[in-house]
Amino acid sequence: MQERRSGWMLGVVWLIAVAYVFHHIRDNFYDVDEGMLAHIADRVMHGQLPQRDFIDPYTGALGMLYAVAFRVVGETFMATRWVLLAATACWVPVFYALARRIARPLAAGLAVILAIAWSVPQHPRGMPSWYALFLATAGAAALLRYTDTKRRRWLVAAGVAAGTSCIIKIVGLYFIAAAWLFFIYQEQDSDRISDAPAAANWYTILIGLGVIGYAVAVAWLVRSQGVRALVHYALPNAAAAALLVARERSATYAPPTRRLVALVDLMGPFAAGLAFPVLAFLVPYIASGSLHALLVAVFVEPMRRFSVIAYPPPPALSVLMAVPVVVALGLVGRQSARAWTVSVVAVALVAASGAYIGADPNFNTPPHILATMLRQACYGLIPVLVIIAAVMLRRRRGQPTLALFTFVLASGTLIQFPTALDQYFLYVAPLVVLVALALVVDRTTQQPRPRGIAAGVAALFLVWAVGRTEFSPVYHRRTARLNVPRGGPLVEWFMVPMYQKLVALVDAHARGRYIYAGPDSPHVYFLTGKQNPTPTIYEVFDDRPDPTDSVLRQIDTLGVTAVVINRHRNVSGPMDQRLEAALTARFANVDSAGAYLVRWR
């Protein structure tokens, strides 16, 4: 009966989730990001290889996937979104299965709805970070399936998920880190002999140095954004590392050699699974002698970009805004008067610090201040929940589900670095839901208490998420479908005639396959169906010695007859003055389409 009820619940929440995502799949169009995804896929369709022939901001596999989608559903902006919808439909049952490991069908179903509300519908663009979330969830499900069956094929499956994530976007490394922490936790459980502390040995020291080194590496990675980044990003990973060190010191374990063998026995199949997609992805790079270009683009260039595109998380003290939430969830104390007093003090400290005050006075009205403080509570939940989970797990054996969720959330929060805009929180929000659910269920099991307040908190966050999507002016502007051959999504109404005129001007004056468009104009190439004569997607990422001379040389060599100058605000800033002067001299005829200047000869 319970399994039948669970199956019905999955069917209901799957239909609700997919219908809700489908309802919003055309919303919230952003030309530069989606133009980048489409332009990359278009270049792959024309036989180019990411990183060898052009600068892909990501690893490269996503462009290959979207190139296949273009062939199946057509070359439009909607192709990437249809792939995202399909991936989301596959992800919902996996997320539900994880929630069912710790909760009854109704609570698991509500967790799915909450996770959906705080994810794809608010940002329905086919960005690679969505696939990092989906694959981390799938990998976690495989690891937990291994703990049930002890069959190594599940470790291999988890490795395949991690490797696939990495070839889409290198942030897949964060799930690999979470899996490594989980393997250490599992080995500690399996090789534990007694709860009496024992003297340290070489294995204990090795594990301690490894996890502490990991925590230090995270702190070093995010150091450029100051204390706030250390609190939001480094602190959760430090808590995860401290959990493993504390468990190592608080018990007696099997001989160190046996323990090392057990750890390698877990890591080996995972590494083998990881290697499958990675090696398959590397084949064309090895065959074409461009492996070095790929490695530089994936491991070196992102470090340089941290200083170019950065948006820090909320102030460090704003983490205290999460205290009332965890008190309401029953995760601290017994929801006593003392716990609520602490919550009031925490909010008062944040208010007194002015952490909610923005630079723009137009956003310092009471509704905006309330929204900012709620947003800070969301961000603050990540380090607070990880710390609570680490404290709970310190002296316990078993509970692999809570441990794995905690490790995945701790490392997964790094996906927000270095750009902690709201959409980056959405990539980790479903993991927050899983950890919060696991902690609430654990607390109510250990110390029975009413769950009504916790359910009320979940309902509040659900209403807020739906309200952000359905009623916020940011998400509910006057829109119209982008009615051009490669369009499809809903855009702000004034953009439709602008892009129609832009496409018409390019069609009328561009002869041959190539135009030049910049800065940050991959969407122009895609919308007009013209090819890019340069390897550049975003000018800010072009580190060639003299890109201006290179651009002009390519324009002259390929006989380009039309160029588009983008005067929108963008990441790369305005066009280089020397380049614009040279384009003006070469292309005397001019017309405009909104913020775009079209020149031709």
Tell me: the pLDDT tens digits for 80-104? 999 999 999 999 999 999 999 999 9
- Provide mean pLDDT across the span 140-161: 97
What pLDDT digit, counting tens, does each position of 186-224 carry?
Answer: 999 998 888 888 888 999 999 999 999 999 999 999 999
For range 214-237, the mean pLDDT = 96
Helix%, strand%, coil% for the chain, nearest 5: 70, 5, 25
Q: What ranges make up the beta strands (E) of 116-155?
A: none
250 touches 394 (CB < 8 A) = yes
DSSP state of 250: S
**Residue 121 — very low, low, confident or very high, per pLDDT cuts 50/70/90?**
very high
- pLDDT given at position 575: 92
438 has a pLDDT exceeding 70: yes
Q: How confident is the model over 318-328, as pLDDT tens digits? A: 898 888 888 88
Residue 61 pLDDT greater than 90, yes or no: yes
Residue 170: the pLDDT is 96
Contacts of 8 by beta carbon, 8 Å cutoff, 6+ apart? 105
Bridge partners, 481 (sequence order): 490
Give this prediction's pTM. Answer: 0.95
The SS3 assignment for 553 reads helix
Pairing of strands 192-194, 252-253: antiparallel
3-class SS of residue 269:
helix
pLDDT tens-digit series, residues 364-407 = 666 667 777 788 889 999 999 999 999 999 877 889 999 999 99
Average predicted confidence (pLDDT) for the chain: 91
Q: What percent of the chain has pLDDT over 70?
A: 91
In this predicted structure, the answer to whether residue 353 has a pLDDT above a threshold of 60 is no
Position 447 scores a pLDDT of 61
Distance (Å) of CA 111 to CA 12, 95, 103: 13, 9, 9
Mean local confidence (pLDDT), 434-454? 78
Model confidence over 130-143: pLDDT tens digits? 999 999 999 999 99
- Distance, in Å, from the CA atom of 212 to the CA atom of 240, rounded to the nearest integer, reads 10
User: Residue 194's pLDDT is what?
Assistant: 86
For residue 286 the two structure tokens come to 């090895």
What sign for the dihedral angle of Cα 171, 43, 426, 318?
positive
**What are the backbone dihedrals phi and psi of residue 397, each rounded to the nearest 5 degrees, phi first?**
-110, 155
Alpha-carbon span 483 to 260, nearest angstrom:
61
DSSP one-letter string for 502-542? HHHHHHHH--SSB-EEESS-HHHHHHHTPBPSSS-SSGGG-
